[in-house]
Amino acid sequence: MGLEFPLKIDKSVVKSFPMFERMPDADVDALLSQAVSKRIGPGEAFFEQGGAATHFFLLLNGRLKVTQVTADGQQIIVRVVHPGDLFGFAKALRRSDYPGTALAVIESLALCWATELWPQFIDRSPHLAVSALNTIGQRLEEAHTRIREISTEEVERRVAHTVLRLTKQAGRAEEAGVRIDFPITRQDIAEMTGTTLHTVSRILSAWEAKGLVEGGRQKLLVRDIAGLQALADSDGR
């Protein structure tokens, strides 16, 4: 089942996350004492779409994609989960099942709390309730941004925005540019932008020819952030 209890180790990691950094040590200890940690490998999931929402989670390290599958089998990537993000909780409040699947793209470690602990979790610290609201508010804003992009922008600009967002959220500086710090396929990018892997591949090839990015199997290195930004900002003309 992959359960572990390395709570001593986790504490410093947890305290390094913005959401917890101002929380008194005693409160952090109390929260951690109720948590279980769970490690899963790439391709495994913390929870699956439609499954009973028994737990909510905090990602300590690794990387997840939250996907939704439509009735007719099409998949989209709702968001990417980075270390320090809470996940699997937005819905634990209102509904009893998970609206998506949280799939690890690399080996990932998360803390798990039983859903029933949620009220306690936010009571523990008023600051945390506000943090949770902020987090989810931010996520809502991102979702609206994405709706706006999908509704009004042509594919190339959407892909540019998505890639830029990924560099901000998961970029690692290298000599040649900024690398997306986890394995990502053309298909993934397609599912984040509402297009097909073919179109993404064509676009990335064109960018590579212009020296904007450097591709590779499940790899992406952005060589010219400013150039890509210019492309994303240009209003279609």
Partner DNA sequence: GTGTCTCTTTGATCGAGAGCAAAGAGCGGA
Partner DNA sequence: TCCGCTCTTTGCTCTCGATCAAAGAGACAC
139, interface contact from its own copies, DNA, none, CB < 5-8 Å by kind: its own copies
**Complex with DNA: residue 68 or 187, whichever CB lies closer:** 187
Q: In whole angstroms, what is the distance from residue 58 CA to residue 42 CA?
A: 17
Strand partners, 40: 108
Interface pick for DNA out of 33, 73, 94, 154 (rule CB under 7 A) = 154
Residue in 117, 89, 86, 78 with CA at minimum distance from that of residue 18: 86
Task: Give 50's DSSP letter.
Answer: T
Q: CB-based contacts of 177: which residues, under 8 Å, 6+ apart?
A: 213, 214, 221, 222, 223, 224, 225
84, interface contact from its own copies, DNA, none, CB < 5-8 Å by kind: none
Q: Which of residues 216-235 bind DNA (CB under 7 A)?
A: 216-219
The interface mask with DNA, positions 195-214, x = CB under 7 A, is xxxxx-xx-xx--x------
Q: In whole angstroms, what is the distance from residue 220 CA to residue 208 CA?
A: 10
167, interface contact from DNA, its own copies, none, CB < 5-8 Å by kind: none
Interface pick for its own copies out of 107, 138, 176, 219 (rule CB under 8 A) = 138
Q: Which of residues 161-220 bind its own copies (CB under 8 A)?
A: 191, 193-194
200 touches 210 (CB < 8 A): no
Query: Which residues of this chain interact with DNA, rule CB under 7 A?
Result: 154-156, 185-187, 194-199, 201-202, 204-205, 208, 215-219
